[in-house]
A and B are shown apart, each in its own frame.
Chain A
Amino acid sequence: MKWRKLIKVAFQSILKNRMRSLLTTLGMIIGVASVISLLALGKGSQDDIRKQVASLGTNMIIIHPGSSFSGGVRGGSGSQATLTLDDVDSLKNEPELIRYVSPDIRLSEQVIAGKTNWSTQVNGVSVDYLKIRNYTLSAGSFFTARDVKAKSKVAVLGKTVSDELFPGQDPVGTRIRVRNVPFTVIGTLSGKGQSSMGMDQDDIVLIPESTALYRLSDGKTIRAVVLSAVSEEKMNDAQARATEILRRNHKLKDDDEDDFHISNQTEIISMAGKVTGTLTALLSAIAGVSLLVGGIGIMNIMLVSVTERTREIGIRMAIGARGADILIQFLIEAVILSLIGGIIGILAGLGIAYGIGSAMGASVLVDPSIIVLAVAFTAAVGVFFGFYPARKAAGLNPIDALRYE
């Protein structure tokens, strides 16, 4: 029998029982729709998180002075000035794990430009800071190694600062003052928006580390060191190596606790990712169960259909249909039924995902391979759950089938 004919016959019998067919596929529709919408929303939020990681800085590791909170009465993070420029230099000597290193000398300062002023955070950093934190310049240039060496009084303004002090103007070339020290603005940063902690990452002024240390600070206190690993895979190795170096530099004994706190943002983010991942997996499992139920529904209806159409099967056999012809006819019917359910489910799932996405401001990401997978999966469900009823139909005796009342 020709495939085209077989498919036509299958469609005819599906269309002859429209209502029942629809109810049959309902389980399938719900199952597929929930899988598709959950995956689209889950992927969307994972993608959001990934973007946030990227905005924080690629492969960034942060070191703060002071022990962790585990010691109880011991001072909190940053309470002891344990990080030194020597530490920074040692960390720079590990090119196979650590690509960029920058001290981060954070000072809360009042920045004055003409008659306006703005309280912000002035960060003394190295020339590599932009690459570590994924900042980009919107105008002008960044300072160079020579500026660091010469303790040059140059500054690069974050977008918020430049908007506040120089609304609608290009600040490059103008002068600002920080604690009466005059700085020349040599560049501005592109906006990055809020960090995942809700902090404005653009409310910042970058100046050379040496300038900050010797012209605005005490010449030794380093509030943080930021560095970036050579790759995401090397993240943990880089963190372990940095810990090792700092412990050696600080002459800590084996059973001493770290006198610094090392962390990487991606840990937090990947944790968040894991949570959404687990959630997605859990919901997908539920969706999978409903798919299973949908499949069983199809099997059930196909069994009813085989019984109802026993006479039809008998007629077909009487005029020469082989068992295989009957088997294929019912299998195709089951597959088409579940494919119809699957396709309606995919469309409904996308609708739900985009609906929830726009209602709740969540991102929606549809992986085309998921759609392909869903179609393949529903077809497989049709074959799997259609096989038993189809085989039952094919195994009927012509005369018994014809006599069936």
Chain B
Amino acid sequence: METIRLTSIYKTFDLGGETVKALDGVSLDISPGEFLAVMGASGSGKSTLMNIMGCLDQASRGEYYLEGIRVDTMNRNQLADIRNRKIGFVFQGFNLLPRTSALENVELPLLYSRTGSRKKSRDRAVAALEMVGLAHRLDHHPNQLSGGQQQRVAIARALVNDPAIILADEPTGNLDSRTTVDVLSVFQALNDKGITLILVTHEPDVALYARRIVTMKDGKIQSDRNVENRTLAGSLGADSGPWEV
């Protein structure tokens, strides 16, 4: 069963009479354990596609199956639950709650979880932060963390609820080259553990950390290829790693 199956997804935006075709018939299958990079020129529809896959937005037309379950027909509450249980989202701008500790930020998805026990939410949040190498920054607020560290907190938040898939829209867009590698190595390590990842990027270098690259143009998929010579960021330690600043 595919983790994600999109068939003929269309998305149009109405801008006062003028309609913009952001997605123009996208079909895409993503298997469990894949690490997919989405590339393409600005305005080609990458973010729109991610938002639809992340259930933050809904397609105008087309079918979307997540782990075999049809989600394009779901209502607001069902979509909220899907986002909570099956999807982890990492944004370009981190989107952490300000004046809230790293631990509390990571705990947040568990707070809204309607399934399973919420008892161990702290333990699970600590474990997620350990996975991204931030076990020693639990009580730091976002403004006390570097960009790379903030993005790693965001990744921990994305994976804390054991999602089917983690979606990252230009997660390294605000980072310098060094911290970019930090974040990418976290992604690779997570992917090695079996987590399915989709990453949007402008930079060809970054895309080479993935296993498969999809390129978009004008709301359509232009090419879809596997990465031959994958870049490896290095191994992931528990409490300290190459990303440690």
Using a CB–CB cutoff of 8 Å, the interface residues on chain A facing chain B are 1-2, 5, 12, 16, 311-312, 314-325, 397-399, 402
Contact = CB atoms under 8 A, between A and B. Distances in A.
A314 B108 CA distance: 13
A322 B80 CA distance: 6
- Most chain B CB within 10 A, of A311, A314, A320, A398, is at A320
B112 A318 contact: no
Q: Which 4 A-B pairs have the closest CB atoms?
A: A320-B84, A322-B80, A320-B112, A319-B109
A322 B56 contact: no
A315 B112 contact: no
Given A2-B118, A398-B56, A399-B56, A318 B111 contact: no
Contacts of B27: none
A312 B80 contact: no
A201 B171 CA distance: 91
A2 B119 CA distance: 11
Interface of B: 51, 54, 56-57, 76-77, 80-81, 83-85, 89, 91, 95-97, 99-100, 108-109, 111-113, 118, 157, 161
24 contacts: A1-B111, A16-B99, A311-B95, A316-B108, A317-B56, A317-B80, A318-B56, A319-B89, A319-B108, A319-B157, A320-B84, A320-B109, A320-B113, A320-B161, A322-B76, A322-B77, A323-B76, A323-B80, A325-B112, A397-B57, A399-B51, A399-B57, A402-B56, A402-B91
B56 A315 contact: no
Contacts of B76: 322-323
B57 A318 contact: no
B55 to A, nearest CB: 8
Contacts of B54: 318
Contacts of B77: 322-324
Given A399-B51, A399-B57, 4 more contacts: A12-B99, A318-B89, A319-B84, A324-B77
Contacts of B89: 318-319
A316 B95 CA distance: 10
A322 B85 CA distance: 13
A402 to B, nearest CB: 7
- Most chain B CB within 10 A, of A314, A319, A323, A402, is at A319
B172 to A, nearest CB: 19
B98 to A, nearest CB: 8
B112 A321 contact: yes
A316 B112 contact: yes
Contacts of A321: 80, 84, 112
Contacts of B95: 311, 314-315, 318, 402
Contacts of A397: 57
Nearest to A397: B57
A320 B85 contact: yes
A398 B76 CA distance: 10
Contacts of B51: 399
Contact of A312 (B83, B85, B97): B97
Contacts of A322: 76-77, 80-81, 112
A312 B96 CA distance: 8
Contacts of A323: 76-77, 80
B97 A315 contact: yes
A395 to B, nearest CB: 9
A318 B50 CA distance: 12
Given A1-B112, A2-B118, A398-B56, A318 B97 contact: no
Nearest to A9: B111
- Most chain A CB within 10 A, of B96, B108, B112, B157, is at B112
A324 B113 CA distance: 13
A307 to B, nearest CB: 16
A397 B83 CA distance: 14
